[in-house]
Structure formats: C-alpha cells, structure tokens
Amino acid sequence: MAKIGVLALQGAFIEHEQIFSRLGEEVFEIRQKKDFPADLSAIDGLVIPGGESTVMGKLLRELDLFDGIKTAIEKGLPVFGTCAGLILLAKEIEGEAPHLATMDICVRRNAYGRQIDSFDEKAVIPAFCDKPMELVFIRAPWIERVFGGAQALASLGGHIIAARQDNMLVTSFHPELTADPAVHAYFSRMVREYKNKRK
Ligand code: GLN
C-alpha cells in the first residue's frame, strides 16, 4: 500500500481519493502545512487535482504550502496533476506567470474556448491502456509544447493532453471523473518505482 496525499484545497479532489482507495492505496488529504511535513515521511505521492489554477496557486501561497511542495517535487516526490494541477506544474503558461514551475511544459489555459469548454471524447492512449478510454475535458488546458525532460504521452486533435517527466505525470483531462482507473493505476506504479528507489 502506498500513501497518496491529495491536495484538498479546492476542486475535484474527492474523486481522486475514491479511485486511489479503490486501488488499495492509503489516501491523505493535504489541507494545511502540518499535513505536508518537510521530511516527506507522510506521503509517497501527491495529487494536484482539477479546479481553478489561479485560486489553488493563491491558496498554496497563503497557506505556506507552496515552497514545501515545490521543493519536494524537485527532489523527486511523484506528483500527478490533472487539469488545473497540470497548469500549476507547468514552467510556462501562455500569457501568465507560472506557479510551481517544475515541469518542462508550456500550457495554454482554457484552450478549447467557450463554445466547447466542456466535452467528452474516447481515445486509445497506449501509455495507459490498450482499450479506448473516456476523456472528460472541463475548461481544459492543452500543452502547447514539451521541452527539456518532458515527453508527450497522448495527443488529441493535434494537441498534447498528457505528459510525463521523471516523477511528474499530467493530464489535461479528468480521469477521476470516469470509472476507468487506468491513469491512476499508472501513477500508482510510478509511486512504487520511486518508493523502491528511495529505499
Ligand atoms: N480552467 C481551469 C484553470 O485554468 C482548469 C479547469 C479544470 O481544472 N477543470 O485553472
């Protein structure tokens, strides 16, 4: 069993907790500084959920969680960012200052525009599963480009929607809002790899 901390300041965090619990992981909510000790003894992996990246970025700073989380990720803590979580991890955000800025991706917020700001798709993403997956997009960003150590894991309509860089995994869609645990299972495997390395 791995210990997964879910940032629970705002947005769709409960759904992540439910899927990781179903997969047999131990789940913790991170709401304040004492939930995230600097020695990282409390968690093996961190989820930054969807929501509103500007609000979450502000809360991270106000609650004095920002620097601890940034440093932990830079030191190798596995992190899974969905949608707003992806935006928070990006080193570059089109037209805006970045937040945690740990991942070599450039993102465009609300990239799909107003008309189709929320939609569902089905696609096979071999990195996660060989069967078609349901992809839920809610005022989603897309990744304009990856650089440095980041690699695209999936694209849709010519835009990157999932990427990985070492200990960091991001999706612009919301796998926690579907019944399919494939992306969460992928992250659980990442967490185990890093846990074994740290020993
Ligand atoms: N539009 C949101 C943002 O820019 C992200 C939406 C989401 O997380 N579902 O932060």
With the most atoms of ligand 1 within 8 angstroms of its CB, the residue from 52, 100, 117, 178 to mutate is 52
Tell me which residue of 145, 133, 129, 144 sits closest to 173, measured CA to CA.
133
What distance in angstroms lies between residue 161's CA and the mean position of ligand 1's atoms? 13
For domain 3-198, the CATH superfamily is: Class I glutamine amidotransferase (GATase) domain (3.40.50.880)
Give residue 108's pLDDT: 97
Provide the Cα torsion 183, 91, 69, 110; round to 10°: -60
pLDDT of residue 199: 59
Q: pLDDT tens digits for 74-111? A: 999 999 999 999 999 999 999 999 999 999 999 999 99
Mutation pick for ligand 1 pocket among 15, 54, 83, 86 (CB with most ligand atoms within 8 Å): 83
In contact, 59 and 10? CB cutoff 8 Å:
yes
From 16, 99, 174, 184, active-site residue: 174
Give the pLDDT score at 40: 72
pLDDT at 163: 98
Q: Is 174 annotated as catalytic?
A: yes
Report domain extents, the chain.
3-198
144 catalytic per annotation: no
Closest CA to 101 of 135, 63, 69: 69
- Find the 98 Cα to ligand 1 centroid distance in Å: 14
pLDDT mean by block of 10 residues, the chain; 199 residues: 95 97 96 86 92 97 97 95 98 98 97 84 96 96 98 96 98 96 98 82
Write out residues with Cβ below 6 Å of ligand 1: 50-53, 83-84, 87, 109-110, 138-139
The answer to whether 56 touches 81, Cβ cutoff 8 Å, is no
Which atom number of ligand 1 is nearest to the Cα of residue 82?
Answer: 8
Write the CB contacts of 23 (distance below 8 Å, at least 6 apart in sequence).
181, 184, 185, 188
Q: Choosing from 25, 83, 92, 106, which is the catalytic residue?
A: 83
- The predicted pLDDT at position 39 comes to 73
- Does 106 qualify as catalytic in the annotation? no
The pTM of this model reads: 0.96
CA distance readout (Å), 191 to 41, 50, 177: 14, 20, 21
